[in-house]
Structure 1
């Protein structure tokens, strides 16, 4: 009897173990299959909430690692033809890029390209390596679909990033569009020297360069947006570009803050359209220090730049304002709160020719790239537009204050 009972108990335990193994295996298979297939609902409802149990900076590093090692599914279907556009004499299959701040050290460019981004911007990159601000320095605000960061230009430095770009372009013959977002070292005594070093280093290899004077996390950086300082800085940067031995026409873009007043915007418009300081484009906009109407009231008290959904309307209005002030003559990359095709279309209408996002990628995972493109393409078709260019700025007055 005892032997029979023991045998029955062993059989029961064996069945439980088998059940656990089967269900675990099935769960892992389903999870792996969902990740591979790019199931956005699975990412949004399962993967991303699980990842949010990790510290924000840890999950950021994990996402970069996953892109670097091609863990996410490659977009195999070609982009819809109505998304094709021209980016400074380069034809690109879609106008949607990953904003600076995600791949700070140029480690994951290939993986991001395979996800379907039309533009990949790395950085900010500083001349010398620097650790940035102390941790914790990244905070999620899930109720607001927002992020606050105060990284403070943590960077591997020019040399390390340049070597990665050179290897990518020379050894792997990478054909995608790469922008390098340039920053200054925290303790630097000359901002002009830092930015001209960046032009000298990356001008020959990058597809475009960004002068970032709008991060709120480096003391005194935003002061460089003041008219006199900005004019001197851009003149110096353009002189440096003219002296490049190769690619001396590399586009130079300026990234501005969303927290500027109307007088400041007029000054910037005057500077960037003036012959000696006329750059090739604007990126509108960086993160904001504004904390209006946030649901996550405790985390809202953290210092740093806010990105995501709360920035959407503010950045769109700023795009319209700069489009108006520059008479549509300076191409704009629109950034801030894009998480859907409607958000993307809104920014095009306001005057953006190209788009970038970052925070939606963190909340919804890689499938959001294809979804936004698909939604935007459908909106163009529904409203009778043949291509992106037909939309740009055609309704900017709607978004002016």
Structure 2
């Protein structure tokens, strides 16, 4: 048997897979389904200070049939619908990492620095065991709120405030970057903060437009049909971001890969690019929590055929020409 276990921010996971923040994780019943699944961990919906209904529906649409076989993707503009940070704080207080055998990641997305300060302070004061914070710098679908991850100075200022408050190892969720200079600039900011232990990349590719041929209408309602792209179509952008940060981050800092994972093949490629763990979003939405058992089996099969006994044996070892 091959070993799919990993360690993120000093916390062990039985396997590398869990959900992407935003997929199957807003309410306790969804989180329970993740606990009952083959995922090695779970992360909550990105929480704001107050509960939010999010954008009007329809706000999510699959873009092709046959996603499992390797095609398609999704477009979404959820608008940070969530139950408010206190809901997830109460959940975390009751969470027993020993009983569940999985650590809990908490995603926070303050709409202002003041909100973020209040939320991270509350979680820090709760002294939760087996709970890891991921601060979302990359929601592209809140009207009037640009992504913090594209403003290097604002990101640095925010981290300078939040990192000392969090104290423990934590991570940030990043948008996709498309310029080598931006990889350099973001990595320089991340490397300044010792307890910033990981980056999660990528969030959806922002502001795509999907149009139905028959009706000649946009496929989602918010923002005149503009929304974030996910699924198989963003795999190569995700791999580039994973590898770019794997090469640039200081020793000990990690990358969690997300984007385009529909099978064990894409999971293997994420690890080869440098990912220490893998989140699944669109495919989880389409297939449900059983996706984790399937992709685990497929990744194990690929590793066995290639002669790898653990993910550490090939992590980050992509070859270049």
Shorter-chain TM-score: what band? Answer: 0.7 to 0.9
* Structure with greater contact order relative to length (CA < 8 Å, sep ≥ 6): 2
1:161 alignment partner, one of 75, 78, 88:
88
Tell whether 2:260 aligns with 1:337.
yes
For residues 214-293 of structure 1, the aligned pairs below 5 Å read: 214-218=138-142, 219-242=144-167, 249=168, 251-274=169-192, 276=193, 279-289=196-206, 291=208
Residue 110 of structure 1, CA deviation: 2.8
Q: Write the distance in 2 (CA, Å) between the matches of 1:353 and 1:121.
A: 16
Q: Write the distance in 1 (CA, Å) between the matches of 2:28 and 2:10.
A: 23
Residue 118 of structure 1, CA deviation: 0.4
Residue aligning to 1:196: 117
For residues 2-401 of structure 1, the aligned pairs below 5 Å read: 80-102=1-23, 103-143=25-65, 145-169=72-96, 173-185=99-111, 191-203=112-124, 204-205=127-128, 207-218=131-142, 219-242=144-167, 249=168, 251-274=169-192, 276=193, 279-289=196-206, 291=208, 299=219, 302-326=225-249, 329-395=252-318, 397=320
Please give the secondary structure, in 1, of the residue aligned with 2:140: coil
TM-score (ref. length: structure 2): 0.86
Q: Give the 3 Å change call, closer, same or farther, for CA 192–290 of structure 1 in structure 2.
A: closer
Q: Write the distance in 1 (CA, Å) between the matches of 2:184 and 2:319.
A: 17
Residue 376 of structure 1, CA deviation: 0.7
Please give the secondary structure, in 2, of the residue aligned with 1:389: helix
Q: Write the distance in 2 (CA, Å) between the matches of 1:257 and 1:371.
A: 27
Q: Write the distance in 2 (CA, Å) between the matches of 1:89 and 1:201.
A: 22
Q: Write the distance in 2 (CA, Å) between the matches of 1:280 and 1:133.
A: 32
Contact 1:116 1:369 in 2 (8 A): yes
Q: Which has the larger radius of gyration?
A: 1
Residue 121 of structure 1, CA deviation: 0.7
Residue aligning to 1:30: none
Q: Write the distance in 1 (CA, Å) between the matches of 2:87 and 2:60.
A: 24
Higher share of residues assigned helix: 1
Q: Write the distance in 2 (CA, Å) between the matches of 1:260 and 1:198.
A: 31
Q: Write the distance in 1 (CA, Å) between the matches of 2:309 and 2:153.
A: 42
Which deviates further from its counterpart, 263-272 or 192-201? 192-201
Contact 2:190 2:196 in 1 (8 A): yes
Residue 342 of structure 1, CA deviation: 0.7
Please give the secondary structure, in 1, of the residue aligned with 2:3: helix
RMSD: 2.5
Q: Write the distance in 2 (CA, Å) between the matches of 1:192 and 1:295.
A: 36
Q: Give the 3 Å change call, closer, same or farther, for CA 221–180 of structure 1 in structure 2.
A: farther
Residue 99 of structure 1, CA deviation: 0.9
Please give the secondary structure, in 2, of the residue aligned with 1:124: coil
Which deviates further from its counterpart, 137-146 or 386-395? 137-146
Contact 1:320 1:397 in 2 (8 A): no
Residue 396 of structure 1, CA deviation: 6.1
Give the unaligned 5+ runs of structure 2.
66-70
Q: Render the CA deviation track for 1:312-366: whole Å, top value 9, x for unaligned.
A: 1110111111112226642011000101111000000111110010211222333
Q: Write the distance in 2 (CA, Å) between the matches of 1:396 and 1:121.
A: 32
Q: Write the distance in 2 (CA, Å) between the matches of 1:112 and 1:349.
A: 25
Q: Give the 3 Å change call, closer, same or farther, for CA 158–364 of structure 1 in structure 2.
A: closer
Contact 1:319 1:350 in 2 (8 A): yes
Contact 2:140 2:206 in 1 (8 A): yes
Which deviates further from its counterpart, 374-383 or 222-231? 222-231
Please give the secondary structure, in 2, of the residue aligned with 1:282: strand
Contact 2:52 2:80 in 1 (8 A): yes
Please give the secondary structure, in 2, of the residue aligned with 1:382: helix
Q: Write the distance in 1 (CA, Å) between the matches of 2:82 and 2:6.
A: 32
Residue aligning to 1:73: none
